[in-house]
Structure 1
Amino acid sequence: MSGPPPPYPGEKGQEAGYPPQPQQGYGQPPPPQGYPQAAQPGYGPPQQGYGQPQQGYAQQQAHTTVVVGQPTATVLVQQFREAPVNTACPHCRAQVITATQYETGTFAWIICLVLCIVGCWPCCLIPFCVDGCKDVTHSCPNCKQVISRWNRM
């Protein structure tokens, strides 16, 4: 290499690779805030509205239309288990606490069959008497329609 690179076009009297020197001296105070700034040599005209309030801005804001999207539906998944549940009946649309009823289901029959195979045939009727082995049916106390059924299996 044979010295510094050539200067960029428009860089007369300036060493190559260094930024342009400011035209104002260090002793000059900056222009006061809030007043339009005069164009400085080497820079473009000041941008309209940058640091200054725009004319008619309050009028634009008064006529702004806000478009709000449709709210998303929240789906609440209720768990119908052994205890009564506070829910809206899908049949009569009433807000109710479900009435529960225990019914013999598949789980009670499987326990009965296992007890018979093991040899406890006198005890095989116990699952039909214990609510913990039965299915639970939730119904509406107003219209008596079945809302849900919880199976033990």
Structure 2
Amino acid sequence: MSAPPPPYPGKGQEAGYPAQPPPPQGYGQPYGAPPPAAYPAQPYGQPAQPYGQPAQPYGQPALYGQPGQPGYPQQQGQTTVVVAQPAVTVVQQFRESPVHTRCPHCQAEVVTATQFETGSFTWIICLVLCIVGCIPCCIIPFCVDGCKDVIHTCPSCHQTISRYSRL
């Protein structure tokens, strides 16, 4: 069902229609007119204040919930707990490929230079090949970089930064 049509001019309560309520404030105001007094204007770029709170001057922080503010209870014995975050330590892994690091000797930010040297793993593979009976093949581990240790050196000061042993 629909509502009854609005009364025609000249007809009102005497025609059986209910009285019309007055239009709300601000209704029918020209475009650009100031808002009604119920909604105070806010300066450009400032957030609206909560109901019942005084406006803060521009550039000063609002102190909501601080002791002494009207509308907030005074709290006694507040305890603030500050938890220190653990320090994050980055552990660099020196493996087969060059690594971007800081040289502990010359303090330069460098990408390490790598060299391959015969190590314990090379000799163990050679010994296993001899025991198995593959004597001509026991020379292969000395030719393959995957069986050798890796030495990381600084290209600036030529000092050894780290050694990656395969064992």
Which TM-score band (shorter chain)?
0.5 to 0.7
1:79 counterpart = 2:93: yes
* Counterparts of 2:107 and 2:87, CA distance in 1: 18
Letter in 1 for 2:126: C
* Counterparts of 1:121 and 1:56, CA distance in 2: 89
* Cα 1:111/1:89, change in 2 over 3 Å: same
Structure 2 counterparts to residues 38-117 of structure 1, below 5 A: 51-54=51-54, 61=61, 73-117=87-131
* Cα 1:149/1:51, change in 2 over 3 Å: same
Segments of 5+ residues of structure 1 without an aligned counterpart are: 1-49, 63-68
Segments of 5+ residues of structure 2 without an aligned counterpart are: 1-49, 63-82
- Provide the aligned length of Structure 1 versus Structure 2: 109
Match of 1:131 in 2: 145
**Secondary structure at 1:124 match in 2:** helix
Letter in 1 for 2:156: N
Query: Shift of residue 97 of structure 1?
Result: 1.1
* Counterparts of 1:79 and 1:118, CA distance in 2: 34
Letter in 2 for 1:85: V
* Counterparts of 2:130 and 2:154, CA distance in 1: 37
Match of 2:158 in 1: 144
**Secondary structure at 2:163 match in 1:** strand
**Secondary structure at 1:101 match in 2:** strand
User: For 1:98-125, what per-residue CA distance to the aligned partner results, in whole angstroms no more than 9, with x for missing partners?
Assistant: 1101011111111011001101112112
Match of 2:134 in 1: 120
* Counterparts of 1:60 and 1:119, CA distance in 2: 86
Aligned-residue sequence identity (percent) comes to 62
Q: Which runs of 4+ in 1 moved over 3 A?
A: 54-62, 69-74
Match of 2:37 in 1: none
**Secondary structure at 2:97 match in 1:** coil
RMSD: 3.4
* Counterparts of 2:84 and 2:60, CA distance in 1: 26
Letter in 2 for 1:101: Q
Letter in 1 for 2:113: A
Match of 2:70 in 1: none
TM-score, L = length of structure 2: 0.51
Letter in 1 for 2:61: Q
* Counterparts of 2:119 and 2:61, CA distance in 1: 66
**Secondary structure at 1:83 match in 2:** coil
Letter in 1 for 2:157: C
**Secondary structure at 2:157 match in 1:** coil
